[in-house]
Amino acid sequence: MLRIHFTGEDLARLRLAARPDALWETVLSFHRLRDRRGGRVYGQWRKEARTRFGGGARDARRTLASIVPERGYFPDFLTPAEGAQGWDEGLAAVRATPEGRQYGEMALMRGELAQVPPMGVLADALRDYHRAAVAPYWPHLQARVEADRAARGRALLDGGADALLASLPPVLRWRAPVLEADYPVAREVHLKGRGLRLQPSFFCQGAPVVLYDPQLPPVLVYPVAHTPPPALAAVGSPHLGRLVGQTRSVVLRAIEHGCTTSELARLAGVSLASASQHACVLREAGLVVTLRHGSAVLHSLTPLGAALLRGGAAPAPLG
């Protein structure tokens, strides 16, 4: 069991990451690359990433495997706080890891005689793997994390930090003033007024992840939802199809947890052009909001759209 203890000051300093953390995604994806779980979500990516990161990358794979086990603890210095600022800043922090910290954290994983690859070699291996297995999929990762941020943001606006913590995925349970999760080992994390950074992650699967060193800035990495519920046609109101059309009601359901236009097309079983057109009509009706991040386009429901989908009362108009 993981138990994270909050004070009033911690709740006031709770924050949600603004974007995916490139180093967390890189390290956690290396876990996903070597296991067989999550085939529905990661299967195609795994096949492509193994091809991209094959052949001449053998030395880089060996270097990463020596420091990132298939499961369990990996050194905290692989995911520095600077990673929240961007890939370049995070990788520079990895390269600058003091030697004493390198050996201390590797000893936790391999024992006192653990060998540490030179930081330059390790950083180059991380860079090569990131370019092959993570960077090509970055717009998709951004879209999934932004969809999660939208859901958490609505909870925060509706009910503050308490509602935000209660809205986290089912693997996390908010029992004020403690946030709990099933965990491979027993961990008690006392924030002591430092607050907590919530970091949604595409490649985190199952249990959330926290840093081992209690002195480091607290961060909780948790898995995002990857797809809406499978029964897309089972809309909240039996009359919704009559109101907006059967296809558009399916499109509205597909957008419930946030999705890109290409994901919308796949989930609703329509062409890309049709998905874009339906999303445009729903956006003009005030049911959907669209956000752009570079080449990625993310659709999510407005409060009115969510109320219509549930078949409940619409929010009262302002004024």
Q: How far is 223 from 270, CA to CA, in rounded Å?
A: 28
C-alpha span between 39 and 36 (Å, rounded)? 6
Q: What secondary structure letter does DSSP report for 218?
A: P
Output the CA–CA distances (angstroms, integers) from residue 247 to 243, 289, 308, in the order listed: 11, 19, 15
User: Please, where in the chain does CATH 1.10.10.10 lie?
Assistant: 240-310
Please state the φ and ψ torsions of residue 119, each to the nearest 5 degrees.
-60, -35
Residue among 39, 49, 260 at smallest CA distance from 140: 260
Whether domain 240-310 has CATH 1.10.10.10: the reply is yes
What predicted TM-score, i.e. pTM, was given to this entire model? 0.74
pLDDT digits (tens, 9 = 90+) for 201-251: 999 998 999 999 999 999 999 999 875 443 333 334 455 556 667 788 888
Contact (CB, 8 A) for 275 and 247: no
What pLDDT, on a 0 to 100 scale, did the predictor assign at position 39? 80
pLDDT of residue 70: 83
Average predicted confidence (pLDDT) for the chain: 85
What's the pLDDT tens digit per position in 20-56?
999 999 999 999 998 888 788 888 899 888 888 876 6
The Cα–Cα gap between 25 and 205 comes to: 11
